[in-house]
Amino acid sequence: MPAYKRILLKLSGEALMGDDAYGINRATIVRMVREIQEVTQLGCEVAVVIGGGNIFRGVAGGSVGMDRATADYMGMLATVMNALALADTMRQEGMTARVMSAISIDQVVEPYVRPKALQYLEEGKVVVFAGGTGNPFFTTDTAAALRGAEMGAQIMLKATKVDGVYTADPKKDPSATRYPTLTFDEAIIKNLQVLDATAFALCRDQKLPLKVFSIFKPGALKRVVMGGDEGTLVHV
C-alpha cells in the first residue's frame, strides 16, 4: 500500500527537455508518464502542476525588456502547452487525464473548478493543472502549494534534477551532503532555494509537507510514494 493516498506532483517545464536546449523531449516525457502510471496503479491519486520554462526558454530572448505581467502571461500559456502534451502522452499510455487551466481557454482545456477536480481525482483520473495561479507575479511553485492545499493532498512532491536538498551545490562541492529531513523554518533560515518564499509560507501555514527528489532516478517517484528513503522531506 502506498504511504500517501493523494499527492500533488510539481514538474518543472525544464524536466521535460531531457538533453534538449528547449521544448519537449519525447523519450523523457514518456518515461515520466510511465513513472506516474506506476504510482496510480498502486492506488495513489495524482494531481500535477507543471511549469513552462522549457517552452518559454525558446522565446526568452524576445521577452527582454517586456512588461513583467505580460511575460508571466506568456509563461502561463507555455504551461498549458506542456499540460496538453503531458495529458496526450498519458492517453497514449492508456491513462485518463484531465487538464484544468487557471486561465480561461475553454476551447482547448477545462477551466479550473475545485469540486470537479476533486471528483476527477476520486474517479482515479490524473488531473493536470495549467496556467499557474492565473495571476502574474506568482510562480508555479506557489500554484503547486495552492492546488495541493485545495485538493487535500497529503504531500507535495517537487520533482527536480537533484535527488534532494544539499548543504551546498553537489556539482560544485563534492563534500556536500543531502539533508534527509528539514523543517520549513530551517530551510528559510539557511536560505535553501527549494521553493520561492510565497510557496514556502503557504506549505508551512497549511501544514503541507514537501518532498524534494530527482525525477531522473528510475523508480524514485514510486519509492517516495511508498515512503522510502528518497530525497529530502521538508515539514513543519
Q: Which helix (H) or strand (E) holds 235?
A: strand 232-235
The reply to whether 47 falls in a domain is yes
Q: Is 114 among the annotated ligand-binding positions?
A: no
pLDDT at 22: 84
Please give the model's pTM, rounded to 2 decimal places: 0.94
Q: Are 178 and 165 in contact (CB under 8 A)?
A: yes
Find the domain containing 29 and state its range.
6-235
Identity of the amino acid at 11: L
Residue 191 has pLDDT above 90, yes or no: no
Q: Which residue has the cell 509563461?
A: 75
Q: Is 214 among the annotated ligand-binding positions?
A: no
Q: Is 133 among the annotated ligand-binding positions?
A: yes
- How many whole angstroms separate alpha carbon 147 and alpha carbon 133? 9
pLDDT at 55: 84
Q: Is 157 among the annotated ligand-binding positions?
A: no
- How many whole angstroms separate alpha carbon 231 and alpha carbon 54? 24
Residues 80, 84, 87, 93, CA torsion sign: negative
pLDDT at 192: 87
Q: Is 140 among the annotated ligand-binding positions?
A: yes
The reply to whether 89 falls in a domain is yes
Q: Per DSSP, what are the bridge partners of residue 193?
A: none
- How many whole angstroms separate alpha carbon 180 and alpha carbon 190? 15
Output the domain CATH number for residue 198. Answer: 3.40.1160.10
What is the share, in percent, of the chain residues with pLDDT greater than 70? 96
pLDDT at 110: 97
Q: Is 138 among the annotated ligand-binding positions?
A: yes
The reply to whether 98 falls in a domain is yes
Give helix 140-151 / helix 197-205 axis angle, nearest 10°: 10
Q: Is 191 among the annotated ligand-binding positions?
A: no
Per-chain mean pLDDT for the chain? 93
The reply to whether 141 falls in a domain is yes
The reply to whether 20 falls in a domain is yes
Sequence-separated (6 or more) residues with CB below 8 Å from residue 206? 145, 148, 149
Averaged pLDDT, 210-231: 94
Find the length of the chain: 236
Q: Is 10 among the annotated ligand-binding positions?
A: yes
pLDDT digits (tens, 9 = 90+) for 46-85: 999 999 988 876 555 556 678 889 889 999 999 999 999 9
Cell representation of residue 101:
487551466
pLDDT digits (tens, 9 = 90+) for 34-49: 999 999 999 999 999 9
Residue 90 has pLDDT above 70, yes or no: yes
Q: Is 160 among the annotated ligand-binding positions?
A: yes
The reply to whether 1 falls in a domain is no
Q: How many domains does the chain divide into? A: 1
- How many whole angstroms separate alpha carbon 38 and alpha carbon 31? 11
- How many whole angstroms separate alpha carbon 48 and alpha carbon 37? 12
Sequence-separated (6 or more) residues with CB below 8 Å from residue 84? 99, 108, 109, 130
Least confident range of 109-113, 171-175, 224-228: 171-175
pLDDT digits (tens, 9 = 90+) for 134-159: 999 999 999 999 999 999 999 999 99
Q: Which helix (H) or strand (E) holds 9?
A: strand 6-11
Residue 124 has pLDDT above 60, yes or no: yes
Q: Per DSSP, what are the bridge partners of residue 181?
A: 233
- Residue 50: closest CA among 136, 134, 129, 108: 129
DSSP state of 103: S
pLDDT digits (tens, 9 = 90+) for 101-121: 999 999 999 999 999 999 999
